[in-house]
Amino acid sequence: MNIKNYIAIIILMNAVNCFASCGLENAKVIDVHQYFDGNIFVRFDKSTNCNCIEKTRLAFDSGDPTKQFIQSMVLLAFASNSNVTAYSSSTECSVHGNTAVLDYFRVLK
């Protein structure tokens, strides 16, 4: 393996680590609510590893068309009591200054 391959592998590993900055795995959605400003807050039965005041929730803007799938999957997970994986791609607590943005959501069987 040459140096270019090693560099490519390092870049790829960093890209994966950068995407999933914080979140949780094998958790259940225990509460979903929409705030007056359109943000949807999803609360879990476990704490995230995000450096936010609100450790057990992530949030997203209901008006963001890229979040329609996440919105559907959150409601499905809540109704079915399924385990989920959820991540934020940012370490910032940009929603109301205390909650990380929900960017990745997966429902587990």
pLDDT at 16: 47
Q: How confident is the model at residue 3 (pLDDT cuts 50, 70, 90)?
A: confident
The class of domain 21-108 in CATH terms is mainly beta
The encoded tokens of residue 45 equal 């039965």
| pLDDT exceeds cutoff 80 at 18 | no
Residue type, 27: A
Q: Give tens-digit pLDDT for 34-64.
A: 999 999 999 999 999 999 999 999 999 999 9
Comparing 6 with 10, the larger pLDDT belongs to 10
pTM: 0.81
Q: Does residue 102 carry a pLDDT above 70?
A: yes
Residues 6 or more apart whose Cβ sits within 8 Å of residue 107? 73, 76, 77, 80, 82, 83, 84
Greater pLDDT, 87 or 11: 87
Distance CA 59, CA 57 (A): 7
Residues 8-30 have a mean pLDDT of 72
> Radius of gyration over alpha carbons of the chain, in Å?
15
* Selection from 86, 21, 18 nearest residue 50 by Cα: 21
Name the residue ranges covered by the structural domains of the chain.
21-108
- 28 and 83 in contact (C-beta within 8 Å)? yes
Name the H helices within 1-109: 3-19, 68-80
Mean pLDDT of 63-77: 96
